Every structure is written in structure tokens, then in C-alpha cells.
């Protein structure tokens, strides 16, 4: 039971399936490629040992542009290959972190799942569907909890914007906690800044690990989940 948002779920539907059930174990590392209803297995020996970022880049470089439609990849890294129980699955730079799902993929010698889909979801009554969507969107935009400036959109801001120790909700945000840690006396005394997974750090790098520094100037825009009616607008 894990969740990451992103494009993988919609891409699976566009590729022709509602769900996947993967049974057994491959004799050697493989990728599963789902291409508009067709499923194939590809040798992944040259990918074994690569990080999720390296794997996703190589696969997207290979498959991007081959056809129109959605392309999404879910991959594991070296930790999952070695069976680390808390390892996750990364898709579009989003992490399925809960439950050790990466270790399950690793145990099956499954390095990545590639989805390519150009299909459309059939709608029985498109006019009626559009009417219902518009009504739901209006309700969300007017509800006290979900309207712009309300609690939920402000929670999204907390995760998408660097914050001070007092967040927009009047309490420390997750990034504010990270900032306080990296700037605090405990971090300086233990030299435990966020470098090399907390294994090594020097005092000179600590000021460069705050949320504000990391978000600027590299942060260009917020990355929304599929059809998010808050961020996309």
C-alpha cells in the first residue's frame, strides 16, 4: 500500500489497463514495457546498479518521441535491488515510499516499468460528464476548506514553497523544520547537515542546506499531480 501521485496511474489507463498484477520472478533483470495494450519484457542487465534518476533518464531518452501519448516510468535503485526493506519505487521523480515496494520489485528482478499510451478513456455521455466536472470544480472553488486561500490550498503551499519557522498555518512547516535543523546548534555541533544521507558534512556546507537556499534559484515552478485543480490553475 503506497502512493506517489504523478502521472503513472493515468499513463497506465492510457496504455490500456486499469491495474497490473506482477507474479513470480524473472531469471535476470528485466523491464516491463506496456505499449497501448501490448506487454513485453526487455533485458535490463545494463541498468542493474543504476540509480532511479539514471534509469529514468536512459529509458525516457530511448522511448520519448517514438509515439504520441503519455510516457511514464517506475523504477528502482540499488537499495531495492539489494532488498533493503524500506526501499521505494520512483516514478517521474516521485517516491512510492511506504511499505518497501521497491524491495518487492527488486526481489522479482524487475528494474523498471515503462508505460506508453495514446489511448483515450471512453465516456458514455461527454456533455453530461463535462457538466458534472464543472459543477465539482465550482464546488471546490467555493468550499471554505478547498477554495483559494483556504486550508487545503495553503497546505499545498507549505510543501511547494520555502517557509520560515512560522508557516502560513501558524505552525512550522516540514521545510521550516528542515531549515531549523540545518541552521540549528544541534546540526552545527554534530555536523549533521543533509549531505550524503547524514553520513558526512562539514560546517561550510550547512548554510547551503536550508529550504530557502535549495529552492532558489533552481526552483522554477510547482509540479502538480495529474489534473490538479489547485496547482494547474
**111-122: per-residue pLDDT in tens?**
999 999 888 888
Residue range(s) of every CATH 3.60.9.10 domain in the chain:
8-117
The proportion of the chain whose per-residue pLDDT surpasses 70, expressed as a percent, equals 63
Q: What is d(CA 2, CA 91) in angstroms, rounded to the nearest whole number?
A: 12
CATH number of 8-117: 3.60.9.10
Whether 158 contacts 174, CB under 8 Å: yes
- Chain segment 131-172, per-residue pLDDT in tens: 998 998 888 788 777 677 666 665 555 455 544 444 444 444
The reported pTM is 0.68
Question: Which strands, in side-by-side order, build the sheet including 70-75?
Answer: 38-43, 30-35, 110-117, 70-75, 89-91, 94-96
Amino acid at each position: 500500500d503506497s502512493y506517489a501521485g504523478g502521472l503513472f496511474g493515468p499513463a497506465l489507463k492510457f496504455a490500456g489497463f486499469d491495474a497490473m498484477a506482477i507474479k513470480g520472478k524473472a531469471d535476470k533483470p528485466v523491464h516491463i514495457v506496456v505499449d497501448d495494450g501490448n506487454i513485453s519484457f526487455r533485458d535490463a542487465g545494463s541498468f542493474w546498479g543504476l540509480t532511479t534518476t539514471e534509469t529514468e533518464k536512459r529509458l525516457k531518452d530511448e522511448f520519448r518521441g517514438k509515439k504520441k501519448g503519455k510516457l511514464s516510468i517506475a523504477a528502482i535503485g540499488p537499495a531495492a535491488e539489494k532488498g533493503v526493506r524500506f526501499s521505494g519505487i520512483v516514478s517521474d521523480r516521485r517516491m512510492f515510499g511506504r511499505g518497501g515496494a521497491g524491495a518487492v520489485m527488486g526481489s522479482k528482478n524487475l528494474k523498471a516499468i515503462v508505460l506508453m499510451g495514446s489511448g483515450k478513456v471512453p465516456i458514455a455521455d461527454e456533455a453530461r460528464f463535462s457538466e458534472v466536472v464543472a459543477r465539482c470544480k465550482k464546488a471546490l472553488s467555493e468550499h471554505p476548506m478547498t477554495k483559494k486561500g483556504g486550508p487545503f490550498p495553503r497546505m499545498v503551499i507549505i510543501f511547494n514553497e520555502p517557509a520560515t519557522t512560522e508557516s502560513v498555518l501558524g505552525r512550522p512547516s516540514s521545510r521550516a523544520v528542515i531549515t531549523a535543523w540545518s541552521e540549528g546548534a544541534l546540526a552545527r555541533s554534530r555536523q549533521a547537515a543533509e549531505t550524503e544521507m547524514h553520513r558526512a558534512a562539514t560546517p561550510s556546507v550547512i548554510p547551503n542546506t536550508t529550504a530557502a537556499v535549495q529552492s532558489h534559484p533552481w526552483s522554477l515552478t510547482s509540479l502538480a499531480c495529474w489534473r490538479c485543480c489547485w496547482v494547474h490553475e
